[in-house]
């Protein structure tokens, strides 16, 4: 089954404790992206990657890191999480390198930072 | 000005009615337009894409695009309570830009 997977699905952590949210897709998509979704603000892009070893900042990159060492995986790293990073996070992938076409979303990770 | 604008709603319609969801965008160079459905706490799910002016129908869903007026709409015929969700409009500029969504409520 073609899909985007994320882990963990739910995470409660404390300020400053490094964490990683994994994302993997099995559709051989070039483009991958991370979004956060907050009430009233919609989906905001954090980082994106157009190919292996190619990553770039989205609209809200502060406090986040990413890497793209393999085509299928695109982990999101929070080196020192803070309460304002409490949010619902989605990973997405797309066939086209620009990402400017239909994107397929993972199930989401609900993160709470205390 | 926001790049993609939607009325947040909620839009309330009775079961069996037509629900009309609208979206306007600012970049005249936009080429591709998408509607996603998102149930509460779930991920967005692509339901329609449209690339040229006019209407595109898929089952109970019809997407309408008017590039001159810079709007795209989604019609849901014979609305069902299971259609109750937030509908996100997404527009291609040099990347995909999402609106904040319109919450649809279909009551029995």
Cα gap A51→B84, rounded to integer Å:
36
Task: Tell me the CA distances in angstroms from B34 to A86, A103, B17, B63, B89, one per residue in order.
Answer: 28, 10, 23, 9, 6
Cα gap B57→B85, rounded to integer Å:
20
Chain A residues inside the 8 Å CB shell of B88: 42-43
- Cα B77 to chain centroid distance, Å, stands at 13
Cβ pair A102:B99 closer than 8 A: no
**Residue in B44, B46, B95 nearest the CB of A98:** B95
* Parallel/antiparallel/unpaired status of strands A31-38 and A19-25: unpaired
Cβ pair B95:A102 closer than 8 A: no
Cβ pair A100:B92 closer than 8 A: yes
Q: Which residue of A has its CA nearest to B7?
A: A40
| The two three-digit tokens of residue A33, written as one number | 């992206």
3-class DSSP state of B14? strand
Cβ pair B94:A100 closer than 8 A: yes
Give me the pLDDT at residue A88, please. Answer: 97
Q: Which of B88, B86, B78, B89 is nearest to B13 (CA)?
A: B78
Angle at A112 between CA A43 and CA A107, to 5 degrees: 50
Q: Which of residues 44-103 of A touch B (CB under 8 A)?
A: 45, 48, 88, 90, 94, 98-103
Based on C-alpha coordinates, what's the Rg of chain A?
13
- Per-residue pLDDT tens for B50-73? 999 999 999 999 999 999 999 999
Give me the pLDDT at residue A97, please. Answer: 61
Cβ pair B96:A105 closer than 8 A: no
Q: Which of B84, B96, B72, B10 is nearest to A90 (CA)?
A: B96
Cα gap A100→B94, rounded to integer Å:
6
Cα gap B47→B33, rounded to integer Å:
11
Instruction: Look at residue A107 and tell me whether its pLDDT is greater than 90.
Output: yes
Give me the pLDDT at residue A52, please. Answer: 93
Give me the pLDDT at residue A102, please. Answer: 82
- Per-residue pLDDT tens for A14-48? 999 999 999 999 999 999 999 999 988 889 999 99
């Amino acid at each position: 089954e073609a899909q985007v997977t994320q882990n963990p699905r739910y995470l409660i952590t404390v300020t400053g404790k490094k964490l990683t949210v994994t994302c993997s897709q099995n559709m051989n998509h070039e483009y991958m992206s991370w979004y956060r979704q907050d009430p009233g603000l919609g989906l905001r892009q954090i980082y994106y990657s157009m190919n292996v070893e190619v990553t770039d900042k989205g609209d809200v990159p502060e406090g986040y890191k990413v890497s793209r060492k393999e085509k299928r995986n695109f982990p999101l790293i929070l080196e020192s999480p803070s309460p304002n990073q409490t949010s619902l996070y989605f990973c997405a992938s797309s066939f086209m390198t620009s990402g400017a076409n239909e994107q397929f979303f993972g199930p989401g990770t609900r993160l709470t930072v205390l | 000005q926001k790049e993609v604008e939607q009325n947040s709603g909620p839009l309330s319609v009775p079961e069996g009615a037509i629900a009309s969801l609208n979206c306007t965008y600012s970049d005249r160079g936009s080429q591709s337009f998408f509607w996603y459905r998102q149930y509460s706490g779930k991920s967005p799910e692509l339901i329609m894409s449209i690339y040229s002016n006019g209407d595109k129908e898929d089952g109970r869903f019809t997407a309408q695009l008017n590039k001159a007026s810079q709007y795209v709409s989604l019609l849901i015929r014979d609305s069902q309570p299971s259609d109750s969700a937030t509908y996100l409009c997404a527009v291609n500029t040099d990347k995909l830009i999402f609106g904040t969504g319109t919450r649809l409520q279909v009551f029995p």
